[in-house]
Every structure is written in C-alpha cells, then in structure tokens.
Structure 1
Amino acid sequence: MKRDHDKLEGKIVLITGASRGIGKQTAMDFASKGVGVIILVARTQSKLVELESIIRGGTELRQVNVVSYRCDVSNRREVGELAQKVIDKFGYVDILINNAGVGIYGNLEKQTAEDLELVMRTNFLGTAYCTKAFLGSMLKRRSGHIVNVASVAGSFGVAGMACYSASKYAILGFSESLYHELHGTGVEITVVSPIGVKTEFFNHVSFGWKKPNYAGFFLEPQTVSKAILKASCSSRLEIMVPFYIRAGVWLKQTFPYFLNPLVGWLFRRQLNKTKSASNDMSR
C-alpha cells in the first residue's frame, strides 16, 4: 500500500481560504509532501503573496510550484473566472480543498440579513461553486479528490451560531449526496469536521474577546491540516477531529431525548458567558 507521501507526489492541489489559519497550514503541509503544484486562493492578495514567499523560502519546499489567485468564493462569477484560469494554465486539479469559511456569533434576532447571506454564500455556496467549477475536469479524467472542510457544528446545532451550523449541515448533506453520485467515477469526496480551532476565525467582532469553548480546548491548525492531508488520500465520507467526537454524534442520534437537552444547556451557557464578558468589556 502506497504511503500518503507517495500518493501526493506531483499532484496539483487547490486550496481556498489559503491565506490564514487552517488553509495556510494545509498549504505548507502539502508543500512538504512533494506535491507538484499548490494553488492558493483567498480574498486578500497581500496575504497570498506572503504565503507564496514562505513556501518558496522553505528549505524543503523549494521544488514546489506555487501560484496564487485572488478570489471571493461567495461570488459565482469570480469562481468561474478562477476555474477558467486554472484549467487553462494547468489543465486540471487533482485535489480540491474547499476550506474558505466565516462565522458570526450571537442571537439570530440581532443579526442582519446580510450577515446570514455572507455566511451561507461563503461557507456553503462557495463550496458548491468551487466543487461544480472543477468537477467536470475531474470526471473527464476519472480522477480527483474533493475535501470539504465542515465542522462538528454540522452535526450539533450551536446556539449563537445558527447560520454557521446551517451552512456546515448543508456542506455535510451536499457532500454525502455527491459521495453517492460519484461512486464508480474515479472521483472521491471527503468531509473533514473539526471542533474549534485556534485561528483568526474568532477575531470577528461578534465574538468579543472571549471564544466560545464547548469541548474544553481548541485544536491547533496543524492537527486539522494533518486530517485534511489524510482525507485527500481516503475513501471515507467524513473524518471528525478529534476522532472520538464521533461517539458524541452517535449518542445524539441514538439517544436524542437524553443528549439534546444536555447539549442545548451547554451551548446556551457558553452563549450567555460570552454575552456577559462582552457587556463587561463595554462598560
């Protein structure tokens, strides 16, 4: 059986949301595995240029061809233009990492319609747009792997993050449907669902100064990146990080009347603590 390093060697990898956090770490980790091309995609060009320099400057990473494109994945036209440029230049993409995502924290009644649309367009529609844009070339070659970065919030509705949870539930349903559609085509799809991660995700003003912490700890970006690399070589539908969170999902589905009230209490408690902390800071 081939090692993951051998499976990735020479591959063309495209990563959305690549300028920071999980995406940035994933780009650097793919580069260290001997892939042929890394295509970085994000909204902020300056951060993409900075990451290009980091990858090119790494002692072990110099042989990697790295290019970047500024693109807002929530914009269907921009995604179409991105796909055309990439296909024209490289012909195809072997591995597509749909990682771009945003979150806004707080009660739904206090969020604007624009807030809701931003989260759904970026997290779900961005994933769907990019998948559709590159799927055709994968199917023609009968080869390719799509990795969609979701969240444990796609299995548990989180108080204070209704739209974010909805977007991640949507990614799970979308990916499961495609998993069945793509059977026998040579194209595979895997979802990576982590708990909270130490990234700039929580820098949004809606989180205030206190991050909601449901698991008692946060993952490092390297931990999630490792799961994404594993997913790109896996035939599984979903990889949860950490793996034992799967037990909580099983309990929720098997004993919903017992677990849902407990989970709801935990989420409401975190929401109220974050509200109190924000109010104290504003006094």
Structure 2
Amino acid sequence: MHDLKNKTVLITGGGSGIGKLMGRMVLEKGAQLIIWDINQANIDQTITELAAFGSVTGYQIDVTHVEKVTATAQLVKQKHGVVDVLINNAGTVVGKYFHEHSLRDISFTMELNANAPMNIALAFLPDMMAQRSGHICNIASSAGLISNPKMSVYAASKWSMIGWSDSLRLEMQALKTGVGITTVTPYYINTGMFDGVKSVIPILNPEKVSKRIISAIERNKIFVSMPWTVRFVRFAQGLFPIWLFDWFVGKVLGVYSTMEHFKGRS
C-alpha cells in the first residue's frame, strides 16, 4: 500500500491513544478515516479534533461481539465501499498474576486481543482480495514474543495474534492476492494503558510509534519491532539456555519486574 491518498482506512480503538494519532496521520495523507471504538465520548471528541484534517466517521462498537462486528462491517461497506486498509489496534490488558484473574478477565482479553482482529479481518478481507489490493496491519506486542509475570493472559493473546497475522501474510503471498499484512510488536507505549510500569528500557513515544506504523503500511513491511532490539528476542531464546536468557532479561534488563507497580488506564 504505497499511497494512502483517497484510500479508506479503518482503525479499531481509533478514539484514543495511538489509534487516534494514526487516524490523524492517514487523514493528513489524504485518506478517508473510519474509526471503531467502544467509547462514544472518545469517538465524538476524536471526530471533532480530526474533522479539520479530512473525512472522518465513527462507529460505536464492542468488537468482542461477533454479530455486531458483522452488522457494523456491512453498514460500513454500504456507506463507504471497500475498506482498503484495516488497522487492528483495539486491545486490553489485565495486570495480575494468572491465579488472580477471573474467568471474565481471561475471556474478555482473548476475545478482544486475539479473536476480534480475526473476526474483523474476515469481514473486510474478501473485498480486498476481490480488488487485488489492500492492507491489514495488526498491532500485537513484544509481549507476544517474550513471557512476563503479571501478563500471562495478555501475552497469550498477543502470541496468538502474531501467529495468526504472519500465517495470514504467507497465505496472501501464496495466493498472490495483492493484500499486504504487517505485524507490529512494540514495547510498552506511553498512552496510559500501561500506567505504573517501571522500565529500564525506555517506554515508547506514541507519536513516533504511530508514525512508524503508518510508514510500515506504506512500505508494505512485514514486521515492525520497537525498539529495534525486540527483533533479536527469538534469536536469543534459541541461542542461550533458558536460565541465562531469564537472568539477562529478568535481572539485567529488569523486564520481568516491569509490571510490579502496574495501574493501567483508569
């Protein structure tokens, strides 16, 4: 997807955080923006702020409800035509030890972070394939590459997303569909979602993250890891014994203790 001008871009979780920032950026590039968000107040505020940049429409939706995804996707197609770019950005985190999770915590995290992106992609992908162009960008996490205390269910959902996203990329390539797939694996981003996290590794700037993601879509990049050192996680896991990897990541980098004071977004 080399040029976003006159393209229709749909961003889930587009009413706040990097979803909102990416929305502004695609509008600045001449795209038509559609945002899906569970929070109507955030949608209204975002539309007010971004209307000066171009055409923006919002839909209030809980994407964990499959029937609502199907119905809202159909409405979007009727009103806006084919969605050229889908950015699966909506997500949630529960910062607890696994035994402290409720069944609701587990099911909601998996539905929102893992199942919803697949259900949404399924709604829009056939149209992209029919026109032989399009792009799906899936915002996963570095937690989908590395285990971490108090992130077990979140990590599970993001490992799932990465596996699906990259498998989908291979399918689109094998079928020569013209549809690109980008998987994004960022470290903690300073959006409020991970408030309370303490990290030796710098927490990412939302504006810079958003810019890199939009650039990756334009350049049809396969994987985007932030910071760049994240791309070596799998290599290190395969090269070193687990005890040495745990010592370096847990004790030296302090990753395993980053969630000790997690508060999250209020």
Matches within 5 A, 1:46-125: 46-57=41-52, 61=53, 64-125=54-115
1:269 is aligned to: 257
After superposition, the Cα gap between the structure-2 partners of 1:219 and 1:98, relative to the gap in structure 1 and judged at 3 Å, is same
TM-superposed deviation, 1:212: 4.1
Q: TM-score, normalised on structure 2?
A: 0.91
1:237 is aligned to: 222
Contact 1:227–1:241 at 8 Å: present in 2 too? no
TM-superposed deviation, 1:66: 0.8
Which is further off, 145-154 or 26-35? 26-35
Deviations 1:245-283 (A, max 9, x none): 213442223224331343345344334x428xx8xxxxx
Contact 1:159–1:267 at 8 Å: present in 2 too? no
Which is further off, 218-227 or 98-107? 218-227
Partners in 2 of 1:153 and 1:112 — Cα distance?
A: 21
Deviations 1:216-259 (A, max 9, x none): 32111111111210221233321101223213442223224331
Amino acid at match of 1:199: T
Matches within 5 A, 1:182-201: 182-183=172-173, 184-201=176-193
Please point out which of 5, 14, 33 is paired with 1:18.
Answer: 14
> What is the percent sequence identity of the aligned residues?
32
Contact 1:20–1:200 at 8 Å: present in 2 too? no
How many equivalent residue pairs?
A: 258
RMSD, aligned α-carbons: 1.8
Q: Secondary structure at the match of 2:248?
A: helix
Q: Secondary structure at the match of 2:261?
A: helix
1:246 is aligned to: 231
Deviations 1:59-93 (A, max 9, x none): xx1xx211110111111111101110111112201
Matches within 5 A, 1:20-35: 20-35=16-31
Q: Secondary structure at the match of 1:197?
A: coil
Unpaired runs of at least 5, structure 1: 204-209, 279-283
Partners in 2 of 1:201 and 1:43 — Cα distance?
A: 15
Contact 1:191–1:239 at 8 Å: present in 2 too? yes
Q: Secondary structure at the match of 1:15?
A: strand
Amino acid at match of 2:224: I
Deviations 1:177-219 (A, max 9, x none): 111111111111101111001112135xxxxxx2242x53211
Unpaired runs of at least 5, structure 2: none
Contact 2:197–2:258 at 8 Å: present in 1 too? no
Amino acid at match of 1:238: F
Where does structure 1 differ by over 6 angstroms across 4 or more consecutive aligned residues? none
Partners in 2 of 1:227 and 1:166 — Cα distance?
A: 25
User: Is 1:259 equivalent to 2:245 in the alignment?
Assistant: yes
Deviations 1:97-141 (A, max 9, x none): 000000000100011010011111111111111111101111111
1:149 is aligned to: 139
Amino acid at match of 2:245: L
Contact 2:185–2:225 at 8 Å: present in 1 too? yes
Amino acid at match of 1:178: L
User: Is 1:39 equivalent to 2:31 in the alignment?
Assistant: no
Contact 2:149–2:257 at 8 Å: present in 1 too? no
After superposition, the Cα gap between the structure-2 partners of 1:152 and 1:256, relative to the gap in structure 1 and judged at 3 Å, is farther
